[in-house]
Structure 1
Amino acid sequence: MMMSLRAAARSAPRALTRLSSTAIRQSRAAQPSSLLKSSWAPLRSTQFASAFSTSQFRQAPAAEVDEELSVKLESEIEFEGQMKENEQLPASVKDFLENSPFELQDTPGKEDVTLTRKFGNETITVTFSINDLANYEPDDVYNEDAALGDEDVQSSEGGRRASSQAEGEEGLGGEEEAEDTEAPVPCRLNIVVEKPGKGALNIEALAQDGSVLVENFYYFKDAGLARGETAEAAHTAQDVYPGPPFGSLDEDLQILMERYLEERGVTQALAVFVPDYMDIKEQREYQTWLKDVKEFVDA
């Protein structure tokens, strides 16, 4: 995954930078400044106070870290640029954008991405956010796998884990294979199906491993509550009974509701597209952030 590659490539130099910066701060902290020493002297005259309040600050050295920080930011910008040059648009993203009935709305600088389409008299909106990448904890996804660590797991279960015996024989090769088959980051989907004058359905789901997993299937008579576009609407929605937990519904009803979403374009193709597009947008926003910060530091 590109996020993992970029994080690994940047982690070593960043660790060294943090170490050197800490050492510099500690050495400076050990030496009290002349300004701190002079502050202990009593102010015996107006003339002395004036000299203290102006000349001392006027002679203060210019910021020392700005240039070093600017150089490091430029290095990161160049690194990200090289990564972008070597990247190809994933087929899942290209095919979805060309063939999907959804229209993509991606505003630079915003975390949320929106897909919208018309289906008969319905307006369907699917929203997801790159914030899920920042909050992603890979270990949480594989907790169940860890619990099975002492059991033999055959490769036919997806090839993600070798049996304990095979791991012992393959050594490092088995570890490399596990890294290469890392699953994509799961992403939360907020789906709204709205009909004029009839309210809206609000479906909370998860795009994971190429599937859409429905978590909640709500109904609101006021479509504004389903969209939750304002803090007031989100607060009001908390006081409305939207429906029971999806998992508590009759199994056949759950299946029909999932097919209802598939018919409206919330399909496997969308579940594959979302995590891949999230990664692209995160890199784009990160590059812009680097440039903005460098421009500010250099100003």
Structure 2
Amino acid sequence: MLRSTTRLTSLAQTAAKRVRAVQLRSPSAISTAMERQAVRLAVTSFSGVRGLTMSAFRASQGVTDQDLAHCLEKELSFEQENKSTELPDFLTKFNESGLFKIQDAPGHNEVQLTRTFGTETITVTFSASEILNAEDTIMENNEAPNPKELGSEEQVAEMEDEDVDFPTSSYPVRFNVLIEKPGQPTLSFDLTAEDGDYGVDHISVYEDNKMAKNQTAEADYQRRGYYMGPTFGFLDDDLKASFEKYLEERGIDGEMALFIPDYIEHKEQAEYTRWLNQVRNFVRA
């Protein structure tokens, strides 16, 4: 396996920069900026909407609708103004390699990367919700600054354009690799990526190819009844090394271990903006 010494992007860097951007809009928002702006958890933001009493929505327009719509509009405008119009470098590089095709439907958590290798069909599956694993890492490594220690708004504004080095941070991302051959069972690898490297957790064999691929609750329940294979770390070292070379030859390597977390961050940001737009339109309707 290849281990990269640098991350293409860092959630910690993104978190700190977003905290400073939030300060210009509202100093009182600093205490929650790390969670709201860095991790961009839609469920966290949406919980505030669900917490409103039902009586506020019995009429066609509640007394809080206008304020909520204004806040959503403000947040959406901020995200759109800071959105890059260019494709991220990591994604451009991935597409240029031509090894895998990305299957990503807006509004869905699951992302798939597919390719062929000889007679084999290889499918890499991961979920955008894996970014939840980053929350504790972000909050532990980066504390929200005290606004009293930052000085005036003018001083904060001057900090906006400064290049500041922040400690890098990573988080574990689980993903799955399915390898299919005509007329053969499906080989399934459960893996975890972190710090530009990956580790194999389990290797399973599924006689029912459809069951191995389906993402339904029923298929997931059926897979739980199958033998998931031995713990990979307990295997003979030579056998483990052979499996790792087998995967690397098929494009499951350090580059893939870097790409998946980067794509999750990219997708989560796009989904957050999409979510803001949908909720705003609903409240305003």
TM-score, normalised on structure 2?
0.70
Contact 1:125/1:192 (8 A) holds in 2: yes
What's the counterpart of residue 99 of structure 1? 97
Deviation per residue, 1:26-60 (Å, 9 max, x gap) = xxx9xxxxxxxxxxxxxxxxxxxxxxxxxxxx9x8
Which residue, out of 227, 230, 240, partners 2:216? 230
What's the counterpart of residue 254 of structure 2? 268
What's the counterpart of residue 120 of structure 1? 118
- Taking a change above 3 Å as real, the CA distance of residues 140 and 247 of structure 1, as seen in their structure-2 partners, is farther
Q: Distance in 1 between matches of 2:27 and 2:247?
A: 44
Report sequence identity in percent: 38
Which residue, out of 180, 183, 193, partners 1:194? 180
Deviation per residue, 1:128-166 (Å, 9 max, x gap) = 1110113434449989xxxxxxxxxxxxxxxxxxxxxxx
Q: Aligned AA for 1:123?
A: T
- What SS does the aligned partner of 1:201 have? strand
Q: How far apart are residue 293 of structure 1 and its match?
A: 0.4
Q: Distance in 2 between matches of 1:18 and 1:61?
A: 34
Q: Aligned AA for 2:254?
A: Q
Pair member with larger Rg:
1
What's the counterpart of residue 277 of structure 2? 291
Q: Distance in 2 between matches of 1:142 and 1:197?
A: 49
Residue 257, structure 1, aligned to residue 243, structure 2: yes
Which residue, out of 125, 130, 133, partners 2:131? 133
Bigger RCO (CA 8 Å, 6+ sep): 2
Structure 2: where are the runs of 5+ without partners?
A: 1-9, 33-52, 142-162
- What SS does the aligned partner of 1:109 have? coil
Root-mean-square deviation (Å) = 3.3
Q: How far apart are residue 116 of structure 1 and its match?
A: 0.3
What's the counterpart of residue 78 of structure 1? 77
Q: Aligned AA for 1:216?
A: H
Q: How far apart are residue 6 of structure 1 and its match?
A: 6.9
Q: Distance in 1 between matches of 2:249 and 2:227?
A: 26
Q: Distance in 2 between matches of 1:192 and 1:108?
A: 23
Q: Distance in 2 between matches of 1:140 and 1:277?
A: 18
What's the counterpart of residue 148 of structure 2? none
- Taking a change above 3 Å as real, the CA distance of residues 289 and 276 of structure 1, as seen in their structure-2 partners, is same
Contact 1:92/1:269 (8 A) holds in 2: no
Q: Aligned AA for 1:96?
A: F
Q: Which runs of 4+ in 1 moved over 3 A?
A: 9-19, 87-90, 137-143
Q: Say which is worse superposed, 116-125 or 228-237, in terms of deviation.
A: 228-237
Q: Aligned AA for 1:286?
A: Y
Contact 1:96/1:270 (8 A) holds in 2: no
Q: How far apart are residue 91 of structure 1 and its match?
A: 2.6
- Taking a change above 3 Å as real, the CA distance of residues 294 and 255 of structure 1, as seen in their structure-2 partners, is same
- Taking a change above 3 Å as real, the CA distance of residues 79 and 140 of structure 1, as seen in their structure-2 partners, is closer
Contact 1:103/1:116 (8 A) holds in 2: yes
Structure 1: where are the runs of 5+ without partners?
A: 20-28, 30-57, 144-176
Q: How far apart are residue 101 of structure 1 and its match?
A: 0.9
Q: How far apart are residue 226 of structure 1 and its match?
A: 2.6
Deviation per residue, 1:54-85 (Å, 9 max, x gap) = xxxx9x89521111111111111111112213
Q: Distance in 2 between matches of 1:208 and 1:141?
A: 18
Q: How far apart are residue 227 of structure 1 and its match?
A: 2.2
